[in-house]
Amino acid sequence: MTDQDLVRRYNYDAFIPDNFVPWMRFDKSPALGESGPDFPLWTLDEQETTLSAIWIENVYTVVEFGSFT
């Protein structure tokens, strides 16, 4: 699968189970209380940071991926 195929699948045109269920992989998520994987992030002013740096600065961290459209 190419990157364009992946983007096309992610940006589906109708909110129906056939389109979003394949993306729901909760079984691959860390268990409650376990640390998630570290990865780079960028702030709104385009400064690079990491998820682990944010964890150090905050007691609670919620990371949301996806679309709210």
State how far the Cα of 59 lies from the Cα of 64, in Å rounded to an integer. Answer: 17
Looking at the predicted structure, is the pLDDT value of residue 69 above 60?
no
Residue 36 near residue 63, CB atoms below 8 Å: yes
The strand pairing partners of 41, in sequence order, are 49
Residue whose pair of structure tokens reads 């045109």 in the numeric block? 13
Give the residues across from 50 on adjacent strands.
Answer: 40
- Both tokens assigned to 19: 């389109």
Average pLDDT over residues 37-61: 89
pLDDT at 67: 60
Six token digits for residue 8: 């096309």
- For residue 68, what pLDDT is reported? 58
Domain ranges of the chain: 3-57
Q: pLDDT band for 45, please (50, 70, 90 cuts).
A: very high
What does the DSSP 8-state code read for residue 50? E
Instruction: Read off the pLDDT of residues 11-44 as tens digits, 9 standing for 90 and up.
Output: 888 888 988 888 788 888 888 888 788 999 888 8
